[in-house]
C-alpha cells in the first residue's frame, strides 16, 4: 500500500496532503495540513501542521507526532496498542487510558483509524474513547465517540461529549474519507 490522498475543508481555505504506506507489519501516515477559517479578515485562525502516525497491522495507533508550524508547538505520544499512553519522554498519560485511536481535529484521516480497526458490518455500532488533539494547544484528552456502519462505505460518526455533533461520512474501498459533510471533501 502506498497511497497519496488530498482533502480540502468544506469551509475556509486549506489543503491536506497525506501519504499512507505500509512497511512490513507497520502502517505509516505522513501528512502536511495548511488551512484557515473563511472569516480570516475578522480574526479567523490559520494553521500549518504536519503529523506522522504509526499504526500496527490492526490499525491501532502506536505513535503520533504533531508539529504546529504556525504556533511552534510539538507533541509526541506513544501507545502500547492496548490503551496505555505516554509522552515521547515516557511520562504516563493516565487520562488517555483505554484510548486506542487518535482524533486530530485538523484531518479526516483519523476517522479511518476506528473504521478500519473496528470492522463493523452494516447495522453495527461501537462506542470508543479516542485521544483527542485539538488546535491550537494540542493538549490530549479522552473523548467518547460512536461509529455506526450504515451501509457499505457509509458511517455515522457521533461525538458523545454532549455537543450533539453527528455526521454521515462516506469512504472509499480503503475506508479513507471521501466526504465528511460540512468539514472535509476529497480532492484530486
Residues 114-143: tens digit of each pLDDT: 999 999 999 999 999 999 998 888 999 999
pLDDT of 42 > 60? The answer is no
Q: H or E stretch including 140?
A: none
| Grid coordinates given for 174 | 480503503
Q: What is the pLDDT of residue 126?
A: 98
As to burial, measured by CB atoms within 10 angstroms (0-12 exposed, 13-18 middle, 19+ buried), residue 179 is: middle
Instruction: Tell me the average pLDDT across 141-159.
Output: 98
Tell whether the model's pLDDT for residue 40 goes beyond 60: no
Cell numbers that stand for 24 in this block: 512490513
DSSP 174: T
**β-strand partners of 62:** none
In this predicted structure, the answer to whether residue 36 has a pLDDT above a threshold of 80 is no
HEC string of 4-67? EEEEEECCCEEEEEEEEEEECCEEEEEEEEEEECCCHHHCCCEEEEEEEEEECCCCCEEEEEEE
Amino acid at each position: 500500500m502506498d497511497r497519496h490522498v488530498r482533502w480540502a475543508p468544506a469551509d475556509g481555505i486549506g489543503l491536506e496532503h497525506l501519504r499512507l504506506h505500509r512497511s512490513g507489519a507497520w502502517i505509516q501516515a505522513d501528512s502536511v495540513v495548511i488551512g484557515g477559517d473563511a472569516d480570516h479578515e475578522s480574526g479567523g485562525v490559520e494553521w500549518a501542521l504536519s503529523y506522522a502516525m504509526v499504526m500496527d497491522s490492526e490499525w491501532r495507533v502506536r505513535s503520533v507526532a504533531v508539529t504546529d508550524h504556525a504556533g511552534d508547538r510539538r507533541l509526541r505520544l506513544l501507545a502500547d496498542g492496548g490503551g496505555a499512553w505516554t509522552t515521547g519522554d515516557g511520562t504516563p498519560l493516565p487520562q488517555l487510558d483505554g484510548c486506542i485511536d487518535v482524533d486530530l481535529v485538523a484531518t479526516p484521516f483519523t476517522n479511518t483509524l476506528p473504521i478500519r480497526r473496528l470492522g463493523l458490518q452494516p447495522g453495527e455500532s461501537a462506542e470508543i474513547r479516542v485521544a483527542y488533539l485539538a488546535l491550537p494547544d494540542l493538549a490530549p484528552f479522552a473523548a467518547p465517540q460512536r461509529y455506526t456502519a450504515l451501509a457499505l462505505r457509509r458511517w455515522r460518526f457521533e461525538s458523545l461529549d454532549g455537543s450533539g455533533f453527528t455526521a454521515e461520512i462516506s469512504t472509499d474501498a480503503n475506508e479513507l474519507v471521501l466526504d465528511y459533510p460540512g468539514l472535509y471533501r476529497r480532492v484530486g
